[in-house]
A and B are shown apart, each in its own frame.
Chain A
Amino acid sequence: MKRAKIAVLGASPRFHNLLERFLTKVCRVRVVGAEQAEVCIIDLDGYGASGLLAAERQRRPRRPLILLSLREVEAEDGIWLKKPLQSRELAQALERILGRQERPAPQRLGVGDRPPESRPVSRRADTKADEVAFYDPKDYLQELLATAYRQALTTEMILRIDLGWKPIVIYPRQRLVWVDADERKLRSFCRLPLRHIVRLTEEDGLQTVIQPDPEAGLREPPPSCQRMDALLWKVAWWNSAGRLPKFIAPDRPVQLKRWPNLTRYWHPPQALPIAALLYRRPMTPLATARVLRLPVRDVSGFVSAASALRLLCFPKECAVGPDPVTESPAVSERQGLFRRIMRRLRGG
Protein backbone atom coordinates (compact mmCIF):
# COMPACT_ATOMS: atom_id res chain seq x y z
CA MET A 1 0.00 0.00 0.00
CA LYS A 2 1.21 3.51 -0.76
CA ARG A 3 2.14 5.37 2.36
CA ALA A 4 0.09 8.44 3.19
CA LYS A 5 1.96 11.76 3.28
CA ILE A 6 1.69 13.76 6.45
CA ALA A 7 3.12 17.17 7.34
CA VAL A 8 3.88 18.25 10.90
CA LEU A 9 3.75 22.02 11.36
CA GLY A 10 4.46 24.33 14.27
CA ALA A 11 6.08 21.73 16.52
CA SER A 12 9.35 22.37 18.32
CA PRO A 13 12.25 20.45 16.74
CA ARG A 14 12.24 17.94 19.58
CA PHE A 15 8.50 17.29 19.46
CA HIS A 16 8.66 17.21 15.67
CA ASN A 17 11.31 14.53 15.89
CA LEU A 18 9.28 12.44 18.28
CA LEU A 19 6.16 12.74 16.15
CA GLU A 20 8.06 11.92 13.01
CA ARG A 21 9.46 8.77 14.57
CA PHE A 22 6.06 7.70 15.77
CA LEU A 23 4.36 8.47 12.47
CA THR A 24 6.87 6.69 10.28
CA LYS A 25 7.66 3.75 12.49
CA VAL A 26 4.33 3.00 14.11
CA CYS A 27 1.67 4.56 11.88
CA ARG A 28 3.72 3.74 8.79
CA VAL A 29 3.09 7.00 6.97
CA ARG A 30 5.59 9.37 5.37
CA VAL A 31 6.39 12.71 6.91
CA VAL A 32 6.77 15.33 4.18
CA GLY A 33 6.77 19.11 3.71
CA ALA A 34 3.55 21.10 3.80
CA GLU A 35 3.38 21.31 0.00
CA GLN A 36 3.02 17.58 -0.66
CA ALA A 37 1.06 16.52 2.39
CA GLU A 38 -2.37 14.91 2.29
CA VAL A 39 -2.93 15.58 5.97
CA CYS A 40 -1.46 18.28 8.20
CA ILE A 41 -0.77 17.97 11.89
CA ILE A 42 -0.44 21.38 13.51
CA ASP A 43 0.89 21.99 16.99
CA LEU A 44 -1.11 25.01 18.11
CA ASP A 45 1.03 25.62 21.16
CA GLY A 46 4.12 26.23 19.08
CA TYR A 47 5.49 29.65 18.29
CA GLY A 48 3.41 31.47 15.64
CA ALA A 49 1.06 28.52 15.30
CA SER A 50 -2.21 30.44 15.07
CA GLY A 51 -0.83 32.15 11.97
CA LEU A 52 0.00 28.76 10.56
CA LEU A 53 -3.53 27.52 11.05
CA ALA A 54 -5.05 30.59 9.39
CA ALA A 55 -2.69 30.32 6.44
CA GLU A 56 -3.39 26.63 6.08
CA ARG A 57 -7.14 27.20 6.05
CA GLN A 58 -6.78 29.79 3.37
CA ARG A 59 -4.40 27.96 1.11
CA ARG A 60 -5.75 24.40 1.33
CA PRO A 61 -9.21 24.65 2.84
CA ARG A 62 -10.03 21.01 2.09
CA ARG A 63 -6.92 19.39 3.43
CA PRO A 64 -7.73 17.44 6.62
CA LEU A 65 -6.14 18.73 9.80
CA ILE A 66 -5.18 17.26 13.12
CA LEU A 67 -4.76 19.99 15.72
CA LEU A 68 -2.78 19.47 18.89
CA SER A 69 -3.04 21.76 21.88
CA LEU A 70 -3.24 21.89 25.64
CA ARG A 71 -6.46 23.87 25.55
CA GLU A 72 -9.55 22.92 23.60
CA VAL A 73 -10.03 24.51 20.19
CA GLU A 74 -12.80 24.35 17.67
CA ALA A 75 -11.61 22.06 14.96
CA GLU A 76 -14.41 22.41 12.35
CA ASP A 77 -13.43 19.91 9.66
CA GLY A 78 -10.32 18.75 11.49
CA ILE A 79 -9.72 16.68 14.60
CA TRP A 80 -8.51 18.17 17.84
CA LEU A 81 -6.33 16.14 20.16
CA LYS A 82 -5.61 17.28 23.67
CA LYS A 83 -2.04 17.36 24.91
CA PRO A 84 -0.28 15.52 26.42
CA LEU A 85 -0.70 13.54 23.29
CA GLN A 86 -1.70 9.90 23.52
CA SER A 87 -0.12 7.88 20.75
CA ARG A 88 -3.26 5.80 20.43
CA GLU A 89 -5.41 8.87 19.82
CA LEU A 90 -3.09 10.16 17.18
CA ALA A 91 -3.03 6.81 15.44
CA GLN A 92 -6.82 6.57 15.54
CA ALA A 93 -7.33 10.11 14.26
CA LEU A 94 -5.07 9.33 11.31
CA GLU A 95 -6.88 6.10 10.62
CA ARG A 96 -10.18 7.91 10.61
CA ILE A 97 -8.98 10.59 8.23
CA LEU A 98 -7.25 8.23 5.88
CA GLY A 99 -10.37 6.07 5.92
CA ARG A 100 -8.42 2.95 6.43
CA GLN A 101 -9.86 -0.27 7.57
CA GLU A 102 -9.65 -0.75 11.28
CA ARG A 103 -7.54 -3.65 12.32
CA PRO A 104 -9.97 -6.54 12.75
CA ALA A 105 -10.80 -6.68 16.43
CA PRO A 106 -9.56 -9.79 18.17
CA GLN A 107 -12.01 -12.60 17.98
CA ARG A 108 -14.06 -12.95 21.08
CA LEU A 109 -15.02 -16.09 22.88
CA GLY A 110 -18.69 -16.21 23.66
CA VAL A 111 -20.01 -17.84 26.78
CA GLY A 112 -19.89 -21.57 26.30
CA ASP A 113 -17.23 -21.45 23.58
CA ARG A 114 -14.48 -23.85 24.21
CA PRO A 115 -11.24 -22.15 25.17
CA PRO A 116 -8.48 -22.89 22.66
CA GLU A 117 -6.61 -25.14 25.05
CA SER A 118 -9.23 -27.83 24.70
CA ARG A 119 -8.81 -28.18 20.96
CA PRO A 120 -6.67 -31.22 20.31
CA VAL A 121 -6.06 -32.34 16.76
CA SER A 122 -5.31 -35.76 15.53
CA ARG A 123 -3.25 -35.77 12.39
CA ARG A 124 -1.79 -39.21 12.61
CA ALA A 125 -2.42 -42.49 14.27
CA ASP A 126 0.63 -41.80 16.43
CA THR A 127 -0.51 -41.37 20.01
CA LYS A 128 1.87 -38.46 20.36
CA ALA A 129 0.03 -36.56 17.64
CA ASP A 130 -3.17 -36.88 19.62
CA GLU A 131 -1.52 -35.14 22.50
CA VAL A 132 -0.74 -32.02 20.52
CA ALA A 133 -2.83 -28.97 21.34
CA PHE A 134 -2.56 -25.54 19.78
CA TYR A 135 -2.95 -21.95 20.82
CA ASP A 136 -2.86 -18.58 19.15
CA PRO A 137 -0.07 -16.42 20.61
CA LYS A 138 -2.12 -13.38 19.53
CA ASP A 139 -4.56 -14.15 22.32
CA TYR A 140 -1.88 -13.89 24.98
CA LEU A 141 0.53 -11.55 26.67
CA GLN A 142 3.45 -12.76 24.55
CA GLU A 143 2.11 -11.14 21.38
CA LEU A 144 1.33 -7.90 23.15
CA LEU A 145 4.80 -7.91 24.69
CA ALA A 146 6.44 -8.58 21.33
CA THR A 147 4.44 -5.77 19.72
CA ALA A 148 5.31 -3.35 22.50
CA TYR A 149 9.01 -4.33 22.21
CA ARG A 150 8.98 -3.60 18.50
CA GLN A 151 7.35 -0.22 19.04
CA ALA A 152 9.65 0.70 21.91
CA LEU A 153 12.76 -0.29 19.96
CA THR A 154 11.81 1.48 16.75
CA THR A 155 10.64 4.68 18.43
CA GLU A 156 13.21 4.50 21.23
CA MET A 157 10.46 5.58 23.60
CA ILE A 158 9.78 4.15 27.03
CA LEU A 159 6.45 2.40 26.71
CA ARG A 160 3.98 1.21 29.24
CA ILE A 161 1.55 -1.66 28.83
CA ASP A 162 -1.54 -1.00 30.85
CA LEU A 163 -3.85 -3.94 31.04
CA GLY A 164 -5.58 -2.94 34.20
CA TRP A 165 -3.43 -5.69 35.70
CA LYS A 166 0.09 -4.86 36.84
CA PRO A 167 1.79 -2.21 34.76
CA ILE A 168 4.62 -3.35 32.50
CA VAL A 169 7.19 -0.72 31.54
CA ILE A 170 9.66 -1.21 28.70
CA TYR A 171 13.01 0.58 28.66
CA PRO A 172 14.25 0.04 25.10
CA ARG A 173 17.67 1.69 25.52
CA GLN A 174 18.63 -0.63 28.35
CA ARG A 175 16.69 -3.58 26.86
CA LEU A 176 14.95 -3.94 30.21
CA VAL A 177 11.36 -4.46 31.32
CA TRP A 178 9.80 -3.81 34.63
CA VAL A 179 6.86 -5.96 35.68
CA ASP A 180 5.21 -5.17 38.97
CA ALA A 181 4.49 -8.81 39.77
CA ASP A 182 6.46 -11.72 41.13
CA GLU A 183 7.08 -14.91 39.15
CA ARG A 184 4.13 -16.74 40.63
CA LYS A 185 1.64 -13.98 39.82
CA LEU A 186 3.05 -13.53 36.34
CA ARG A 187 2.87 -17.23 35.68
CA SER A 188 -0.75 -17.52 36.67
CA PHE A 189 -1.54 -14.38 34.68
CA CYS A 190 0.02 -16.10 31.67
CA ARG A 191 -2.46 -18.96 31.84
CA LEU A 192 -5.39 -16.91 30.67
CA PRO A 193 -6.07 -15.36 27.27
CA LEU A 194 -5.93 -11.57 27.63
CA ARG A 195 -9.53 -11.04 26.70
CA HIS A 196 -10.54 -13.02 29.75
CA ILE A 197 -8.75 -10.51 31.90
CA VAL A 198 -8.87 -7.22 30.12
CA ARG A 199 -11.98 -5.49 28.92
CA LEU A 200 -11.28 -4.25 25.44
CA THR A 201 -13.63 -2.23 23.32
CA GLU A 202 -14.18 -3.39 19.77
CA GLU A 203 -12.25 -0.63 18.11
CA ASP A 204 -9.39 -0.73 20.56
CA GLY A 205 -7.73 -3.98 19.78
CA LEU A 206 -4.78 -4.81 21.97
CA GLN A 207 -2.50 -2.12 20.58
CA THR A 208 -4.22 0.57 22.57
CA VAL A 209 -2.95 -0.61 25.92
CA ILE A 210 0.57 0.32 24.80
CA GLN A 211 1.32 3.93 25.69
CA PRO A 212 4.40 6.10 25.97
CA ASP A 213 5.32 6.52 29.61
CA PRO A 214 6.47 10.12 29.97
CA GLU A 215 7.12 9.77 33.69
CA ALA A 216 9.28 6.69 33.40
CA GLY A 217 11.53 8.61 31.02
CA LEU A 218 12.64 10.78 33.88
CA ARG A 219 13.76 7.84 35.99
CA GLU A 220 16.33 5.15 35.69
CA PRO A 221 14.88 1.64 35.27
CA PRO A 222 14.19 0.17 38.71
CA PRO A 223 16.76 -2.39 39.89
CA SER A 224 14.20 -5.20 39.77
CA CYS A 225 13.97 -5.00 35.97
CA GLN A 226 14.24 -8.08 33.80
CA ARG A 227 15.85 -8.45 30.43
CA MET A 228 13.43 -8.05 27.56
CA ASP A 229 14.40 -11.30 25.88
CA ALA A 230 14.34 -13.32 29.09
CA LEU A 231 10.85 -12.08 29.94
CA LEU A 232 9.42 -12.78 26.50
CA TRP A 233 10.96 -16.26 26.53
CA LYS A 234 9.30 -17.32 29.76
CA VAL A 235 6.01 -15.55 29.06
CA ALA A 236 5.78 -17.41 25.75
CA TRP A 237 6.65 -20.71 27.42
CA TRP A 238 3.96 -20.11 30.05
CA ASN A 239 1.40 -18.85 27.54
CA SER A 240 1.92 -22.00 25.55
CA ALA A 241 0.95 -24.17 28.52
CA GLY A 242 2.20 -27.20 26.65
CA ARG A 243 0.56 -26.22 23.37
CA LEU A 244 2.13 -25.36 20.04
CA PRO A 245 1.61 -21.98 18.37
CA LYS A 246 -1.11 -22.63 15.81
CA PHE A 247 1.19 -21.72 12.92
CA ILE A 248 3.69 -24.46 13.76
CA ALA A 249 2.75 -27.91 12.54
CA PRO A 250 3.80 -30.76 14.83
CA ASP A 251 4.86 -32.84 11.84
CA ARG A 252 6.88 -30.19 10.03
CA PRO A 253 10.57 -29.87 10.85
CA VAL A 254 11.89 -26.89 12.75
CA GLN A 255 15.46 -25.99 13.60
CA LEU A 256 17.16 -23.64 16.03
CA LYS A 257 19.22 -20.91 14.40
CA ARG A 258 21.26 -20.76 17.59
CA TRP A 259 21.02 -21.85 21.21
CA PRO A 260 18.74 -19.80 23.43
CA ASN A 261 20.73 -18.13 26.20
CA LEU A 262 19.71 -20.76 28.72
CA THR A 263 22.03 -19.52 31.46
CA ARG A 264 19.78 -16.48 31.66
CA TYR A 265 16.37 -17.85 30.62
CA TRP A 266 13.91 -19.67 32.81
CA HIS A 267 13.73 -23.31 31.73
CA PRO A 268 12.94 -26.81 32.96
CA PRO A 269 15.85 -29.30 32.70
CA GLN A 270 14.59 -30.90 29.49
CA ALA A 271 15.17 -27.61 27.65
CA LEU A 272 18.86 -28.48 27.23
CA PRO A 273 18.48 -31.71 25.28
CA ILE A 274 15.73 -30.13 23.18
CA ALA A 275 18.02 -27.21 22.36
CA ALA A 276 20.89 -29.54 21.54
CA LEU A 277 18.81 -31.69 19.23
CA LEU A 278 17.01 -28.88 17.41
CA TYR A 279 20.24 -26.97 16.96
CA ARG A 280 22.01 -29.92 15.42
CA ARG A 281 19.37 -30.78 12.85
CA PRO A 282 15.87 -29.96 11.69
CA MET A 283 13.30 -32.16 13.35
CA THR A 284 9.56 -32.09 13.78
CA PRO A 285 8.23 -31.33 17.27
CA LEU A 286 6.68 -34.80 17.32
CA ALA A 287 9.93 -36.54 16.39
CA THR A 288 11.82 -34.44 18.93
CA ALA A 289 9.52 -35.66 21.68
CA ARG A 290 9.84 -39.22 20.45
CA VAL A 291 13.63 -39.21 20.15
CA LEU A 292 14.10 -37.61 23.55
CA ARG A 293 11.28 -39.62 25.12
CA LEU A 294 9.63 -36.49 26.40
CA PRO A 295 5.97 -35.53 26.51
CA VAL A 296 5.07 -33.42 23.47
CA ARG A 297 4.00 -30.63 25.79
CA ASP A 298 7.61 -30.10 26.92
CA VAL A 299 8.72 -29.73 23.33
CA SER A 300 5.78 -27.42 22.59
CA GLY A 301 6.73 -25.08 25.41
CA PHE A 302 10.29 -24.87 24.14
CA VAL A 303 9.21 -24.38 20.54
CA SER A 304 6.78 -21.60 21.55
CA ALA A 305 9.43 -19.74 23.52
CA ALA A 306 12.05 -20.14 20.78
CA SER A 307 9.56 -19.01 18.18
CA ALA A 308 8.69 -15.89 20.21
CA LEU A 309 12.39 -14.94 20.23
CA ARG A 310 12.63 -15.71 16.49
CA LEU A 311 15.22 -18.39 17.12
CA LEU A 312 13.49 -20.94 14.92
CA CYS A 313 13.80 -21.49 11.24
CA PHE A 314 12.09 -23.93 8.98
CA PRO A 315 14.21 -26.49 7.18
CA LYS A 316 14.31 -24.93 3.75
CA GLU A 317 16.31 -22.09 5.28
CA CYS A 318 18.45 -24.50 7.27
CA ALA A 319 21.39 -26.64 6.47
CA VAL A 320 20.55 -30.23 7.26
CA GLY A 321 23.10 -31.72 9.60
CA PRO A 322 24.01 -35.36 10.01
CA ASP A 323 21.95 -37.59 12.22
CA PRO A 324 23.37 -36.97 15.68
CA VAL A 325 22.23 -40.23 17.18
CA THR A 326 24.49 -42.86 15.71
CA GLU A 327 25.30 -46.28 17.10
CA SER A 328 28.81 -47.61 17.35
CA PRO A 329 30.88 -49.08 20.22
CA ALA A 330 32.99 -45.92 20.42
CA VAL A 331 29.88 -43.76 20.56
CA SER A 332 28.25 -45.76 23.31
CA GLU A 333 31.44 -45.78 25.35
CA ARG A 334 31.62 -42.02 25.04
CA GLN A 335 27.93 -41.84 25.92
CA GLY A 336 28.63 -43.69 29.13
CA LEU A 337 31.28 -41.16 30.06
CA PHE A 338 29.16 -38.17 29.08
CA ARG A 339 26.21 -39.51 31.04
CA ARG A 340 28.31 -39.85 34.15
CA ILE A 341 29.50 -36.28 33.78
CA MET A 342 25.95 -35.06 33.20
CA ARG A 343 24.70 -36.92 36.25
CA ARG A 344 27.50 -35.44 38.29
CA LEU A 345 26.81 -31.89 37.09
CA ARG A 346 23.12 -32.21 37.72
CA GLY A 347 23.86 -33.33 41.23
CA GLY A 348 22.47 -36.84 40.69
Chain B
Amino acid sequence: MTYRKLIFTGPVGAGKTTAIASISDQPPVRTDAAASDLTALRKSATTVALDYGVLHLPDGGKLHLYGTPGQERFDFMWDILTEGGIGLILLIDNDRADPLHDLRRFLHRFQSFIAATGLALGVTCMDLRAHPSLESYHRELVQLGFRAPVLEVDARRRTDVSLLIQALLLHLDPGLSVEGGKV
Protein backbone atom coordinates (compact mmCIF):
# COMPACT_ATOMS: atom_id res chain seq x y z
CA MET B 1 0.00 0.00 0.00
CA THR B 2 1.19 3.41 -0.88
CA TYR B 3 0.99 6.61 1.08
CA ARG B 4 2.79 9.37 -0.73
CA LYS B 5 2.11 12.98 -1.33
CA LEU B 6 2.11 15.49 -4.10
CA ILE B 7 2.66 19.15 -3.29
CA PHE B 8 0.84 22.04 -4.94
CA THR B 9 2.30 25.49 -4.49
CA GLY B 10 2.11 28.98 -5.95
CA PRO B 11 1.02 32.48 -5.01
CA VAL B 12 -2.39 33.27 -3.51
CA GLY B 13 -5.10 32.97 -6.13
CA ALA B 14 -3.04 30.80 -8.51
CA GLY B 15 -5.57 27.97 -8.23
CA LYS B 16 -4.13 25.54 -5.69
CA THR B 17 -7.39 25.01 -3.78
CA THR B 18 -9.34 24.72 -7.03
CA ALA B 19 -6.84 22.32 -8.63
CA ILE B 20 -6.88 19.98 -5.63
CA ALA B 21 -10.68 20.09 -5.59
CA SER B 22 -10.75 19.28 -9.33
CA ILE B 23 -8.72 16.14 -8.96
CA SER B 24 -9.47 14.87 -5.46
CA ASP B 25 -11.57 11.74 -4.88
CA GLN B 26 -13.14 13.20 -1.81
CA PRO B 27 -14.32 16.72 -1.18
CA PRO B 28 -11.22 18.67 -0.33
CA VAL B 29 -10.86 19.66 3.27
CA ARG B 30 -9.14 22.61 4.75
CA THR B 31 -7.32 20.64 7.36
CA ASP B 32 -5.54 22.09 10.33
CA ALA B 33 -2.46 20.19 9.42
CA ALA B 34 -3.87 17.10 11.06
CA ALA B 35 -2.93 14.53 8.48
CA SER B 36 -1.03 11.58 9.87
CA ASP B 37 2.30 12.42 8.30
CA LEU B 38 2.30 15.97 9.53
CA THR B 39 2.84 15.34 13.23
CA ALA B 40 5.68 17.82 13.24
CA LEU B 41 3.20 20.49 12.37
CA ARG B 42 0.76 19.53 15.04
CA LYS B 43 3.45 20.00 17.59
CA SER B 44 3.99 23.55 16.55
CA ALA B 45 1.91 26.10 18.35
CA THR B 46 0.32 27.43 15.23
CA THR B 47 -2.42 25.62 13.43
CA VAL B 48 -2.47 26.49 9.79
CA ALA B 49 -5.12 25.74 7.24
CA LEU B 50 -3.87 23.53 4.44
CA ASP B 51 -5.61 22.38 1.30
CA TYR B 52 -5.86 18.64 1.36
CA GLY B 53 -7.25 16.13 -1.12
CA VAL B 54 -6.67 12.49 -1.91
CA LEU B 55 -6.41 10.20 -4.88
CA HIS B 56 -7.25 6.54 -4.26
CA LEU B 57 -4.82 4.27 -6.08
CA PRO B 58 -5.55 0.89 -7.68
CA ASP B 59 -3.55 -0.97 -4.99
CA GLY B 60 -5.72 0.47 -2.23
CA GLY B 61 -3.11 3.07 -1.38
CA LYS B 62 -3.49 6.81 -1.46
CA LEU B 63 -1.81 9.78 -2.97
CA HIS B 64 -2.23 12.76 -0.67
CA LEU B 65 -2.54 16.13 -2.32
CA TYR B 66 -1.37 19.12 -0.31
CA GLY B 67 -1.55 22.79 -1.12
CA THR B 68 0.90 25.05 0.62
CA PRO B 69 -0.68 27.74 2.76
CA GLY B 70 -0.72 31.02 0.93
CA GLN B 71 0.60 33.43 3.48
CA GLU B 72 4.30 33.51 3.49
CA ARG B 73 4.54 33.93 7.20
CA PHE B 74 3.80 30.23 7.27
CA ASP B 75 6.55 29.32 4.89
CA PHE B 76 8.52 27.65 7.67
CA MET B 77 6.01 24.84 7.20
CA TRP B 78 6.80 24.32 3.60
CA ASP B 79 9.88 22.23 4.28
CA ILE B 80 7.99 19.99 6.66
CA LEU B 81 5.17 19.68 4.22
CA THR B 82 7.36 18.73 1.28
CA GLU B 83 9.21 15.99 3.13
CA GLY B 84 8.53 12.71 1.39
CA GLY B 85 6.77 14.47 -1.49
CA ILE B 86 7.13 12.93 -4.93
CA GLY B 87 7.32 16.23 -6.78
CA LEU B 88 6.15 19.80 -7.02
CA ILE B 89 3.23 21.20 -8.97
CA LEU B 90 3.84 24.93 -9.22
CA LEU B 91 0.90 27.05 -10.30
CA ILE B 92 1.51 30.62 -11.41
CA ASP B 93 -1.35 33.05 -12.04
CA ASN B 94 -0.68 34.81 -15.33
CA ASP B 95 -3.04 37.61 -14.40
CA ARG B 96 -1.00 38.85 -11.46
CA ALA B 97 1.17 41.94 -11.65
CA ASP B 98 4.53 40.23 -12.22
CA PRO B 99 4.08 36.50 -12.75
CA LEU B 100 7.69 35.90 -13.75
CA HIS B 101 8.74 37.40 -10.47
CA ASP B 102 6.34 35.01 -8.70
CA LEU B 103 7.96 32.18 -10.62
CA ARG B 104 11.46 33.14 -9.54
CA ARG B 105 10.37 33.51 -5.94
CA PHE B 106 8.79 30.05 -5.75
CA LEU B 107 11.60 28.35 -7.64
CA HIS B 108 14.05 29.86 -5.24
CA ARG B 109 11.98 28.85 -2.22
CA PHE B 110 11.56 25.22 -3.34
CA GLN B 111 14.96 24.88 -5.00
CA SER B 112 16.20 21.93 -2.97
CA PHE B 113 12.89 20.06 -3.05
CA ILE B 114 12.75 20.43 -6.84
CA ALA B 115 16.36 19.30 -7.14
CA ALA B 116 15.58 16.20 -5.08
CA THR B 117 12.34 15.42 -6.91
CA GLY B 118 11.00 17.36 -9.88
CA LEU B 119 8.78 20.14 -11.08
CA ALA B 120 5.87 20.73 -13.43
CA LEU B 121 4.75 24.29 -14.02
CA GLY B 122 1.10 25.12 -14.69
CA VAL B 123 0.31 28.64 -15.82
CA THR B 124 -3.26 29.56 -14.87
CA CYS B 125 -5.58 32.37 -15.92
CA MET B 126 -4.09 32.56 -19.40
CA ASP B 127 -7.67 33.03 -20.55
CA LEU B 128 -7.56 36.38 -18.73
CA ARG B 129 -4.09 37.37 -19.85
CA ALA B 130 -2.02 35.67 -22.55
CA HIS B 131 1.31 37.21 -21.61
CA PRO B 132 3.89 36.23 -20.56
CA SER B 133 3.83 33.29 -22.96
CA LEU B 134 4.66 29.72 -22.02
CA GLU B 135 7.87 30.22 -23.96
CA SER B 136 8.87 33.10 -21.66
CA TYR B 137 8.21 30.96 -18.61
CA HIS B 138 10.34 28.19 -20.01
CA ARG B 139 13.15 30.57 -20.87
CA GLU B 140 13.08 31.87 -17.31
CA LEU B 141 13.20 28.32 -15.94
CA VAL B 142 16.19 27.43 -18.07
CA GLN B 143 18.01 30.61 -17.11
CA LEU B 144 17.64 29.63 -13.48
CA GLY B 145 18.94 26.15 -14.19
CA PHE B 146 15.66 24.23 -14.23
CA ARG B 147 14.04 22.13 -16.91
CA ALA B 148 10.39 21.17 -16.55
CA PRO B 149 7.16 20.71 -18.47
CA VAL B 150 5.31 24.02 -18.75
CA LEU B 151 1.61 23.81 -19.58
CA GLU B 152 -1.32 26.14 -19.68
CA VAL B 153 -3.76 25.06 -16.99
CA ASP B 154 -7.20 26.09 -15.90
CA ALA B 155 -7.38 24.84 -12.33
CA ARG B 156 -11.13 24.38 -12.69
CA ARG B 157 -10.66 21.72 -15.37
CA ARG B 158 -9.92 18.25 -14.13
CA THR B 159 -8.31 17.20 -17.43
CA ASP B 160 -5.84 20.09 -17.25
CA VAL B 161 -4.79 19.28 -13.71
CA SER B 162 -4.58 15.57 -14.49
CA LEU B 163 -2.40 16.23 -17.53
CA LEU B 164 -0.08 18.45 -15.53
CA ILE B 165 0.41 15.71 -12.92
CA GLN B 166 1.00 13.12 -15.63
CA ALA B 167 3.54 15.45 -17.23
CA LEU B 168 5.35 15.69 -13.88
CA LEU B 169 5.46 11.92 -13.43
CA LEU B 170 6.61 11.29 -16.99
CA HIS B 171 9.18 14.03 -16.72
CA LEU B 172 10.54 12.36 -13.59
CA ASP B 173 10.54 9.01 -15.31
CA PRO B 174 10.09 8.91 -19.09
CA GLY B 175 10.31 5.11 -18.97
CA LEU B 176 7.05 5.06 -17.07
CA SER B 177 4.69 4.56 -19.94
CA VAL B 178 6.31 1.36 -21.11
CA GLU B 179 3.87 -1.00 -19.55
CA GLY B 180 1.73 -3.48 -21.37
CA GLY B 181 1.26 -1.18 -24.32
CA LYS B 182 -1.49 1.02 -22.92
CA VAL B 183 -0.23 4.44 -22.01
- By a beta-carbon cutoff of 8 Å, the part of chain A in contact with chain B is 175, 257-259, 261-264, 269-270, 272-273, 275-277, 279-280, 291-294, 321, 324-325, 331, 334-335, 337-346, 348
B160 contacts which chain A residues (CB < 8 A)?
263
- By a beta-carbon cutoff of 8 Å, the part of chain B in contact with chain A is 2, 4, 23, 55-59, 61, 63, 86, 130, 134-135, 138, 147, 149-153, 159-160, 162-167, 169-179, 181-183
The smallest beta-carbon distance between B142 and chain A, in angstroms, is 8
Q: A258-B138, A276-B167 are in contact. Are A340 and B183 (CB under 8 A)?
A: no
* Pairs A–B under 8 Å by Cβ, sample size 29: A258-B134, A258-B135, A258-B138, A259-B151, A261-B134, A261-B152, A262-B163, A262-B167, A263-B164, A269-B183, A270-B177, A272-B170, A273-B176, A275-B149, A275-B170, A276-B167, A280-B147, A293-B181, A324-B175, A325-B175, A334-B172, A340-B59, A342-B169, A342-B176, A343-B58, A345-B55, A346-B166, A348-B58, A348-B182
A337 to B168, CA, bound (A): 13
A343 to B165, CA, bound (A): 12
A233 to B149, CA, bound (A): 18
The smallest beta-carbon distance between B183 and chain A, in angstroms, is 5
A23 to B116, CA, bound (A): 54
A257 to B138, CA, bound (A): 9
Partner of A291, one of B135, B162, B178: B178
Given A280-B174, A340-B61, A346-B166, 18 additional A-B pairs, CB 8 A: A259-B149, A259-B167, A261-B151, A273-B174, A275-B167, A275-B170, A276-B176, A276-B177, A279-B171, A280-B147, A292-B177, A325-B173, A340-B2, A341-B57, A342-B177, A343-B58, A344-B56, A344-B57
A272 to B149, CA, bound (A): 10
B169 contacts which chain A residues (CB < 8 A)?
338, 341-342
B59 contacts which chain A residues (CB < 8 A)?
340
A250 to B171, CA, bound (A): 23
B176 contacts which chain A residues (CB < 8 A)?
273, 276, 335, 338-339, 342
A292 to B86, CA, bound (A): 23
The smallest beta-carbon distance between A292 and chain B, in angstroms, is 6
* A344:B171 contact, CB within 8 angstroms: no
Partner of A325, one of B130, B166, B174: B174
The smallest beta-carbon distance between B134 and chain A, in angstroms, is 6
Partner of B167, one of A269, A272, A338, A344: A272
Find the A residue at minimum CB distance from B56: A344
Partner of A341, one of B55, B164, B179: B55
A337 contacts which chain B residues (CB < 8 A)?
2, 4, 86
B159 contacts which chain A residues (CB < 8 A)?
263
Find the B residue at minimum CB distance from A283: B174
A259 contacts which chain B residues (CB < 8 A)?
149-151, 167
A262 contacts which chain B residues (CB < 8 A)?
151, 163, 167
Most buried by B among A175, A262, A269, A345: A345
A292 contacts which chain B residues (CB < 8 A)?
177-178, 183
* B151:A263 contact, CB within 8 angstroms: yes
Partner of B174, one of A269, A324, A342, A344: A324
Find the A residue at minimum CB distance from B165: A345
Q: A175-B130, A348-B182 are in contact. Are A341 and B151 (CB under 8 A)?
A: no
* A339:B174 contact, CB within 8 angstroms: no
Most buried by B among A277, A293, A341: A341
B86 contacts which chain A residues (CB < 8 A)?
334, 337-338
* A272:B177 contact, CB within 8 angstroms: yes
Partner of A344, one of B58, B135, B179, B183: B58
Most buried by B among A258, A264, A280: A258
Partner of B173, one of A294, A324, A346: A324
The smallest beta-carbon distance between B103 and chain A, in angstroms, is 14
A263 to B158, CA, bound (A): 11
Find the A residue at minimum CB distance from B121: A259
Instruction: Please provide the 8 A-B residue pairs with the shortest distance between their CB atoms, ordered closest to farther.
Output: A276-B170, A273-B177, A325-B175, A277-B174, A259-B149, A258-B138, A276-B174, A324-B174
Q: A272-B163, A276-B167 are in contact. Are A340 and B58 (CB under 8 A)?
A: yes
The smallest beta-carbon distance between B57 and chain A, in angstroms, is 4
A83 to B161, CA, bound (A): 52
The smallest beta-carbon distance between B178 and chain A, in angstroms, is 5
A343 to B176, CA, bound (A): 11
Partner of B57, one of A175, A291, A340: A340
A291 to B152, CA, bound (A): 28
A292 to B174, CA, bound (A): 9
The smallest beta-carbon distance between A88 and chain B, in angstroms, is 31
Q: A259-B167, A291-B178 are in contact. Are A331 and B173 (CB under 8 A)?
A: yes
* A273:B152 contact, CB within 8 angstroms: no
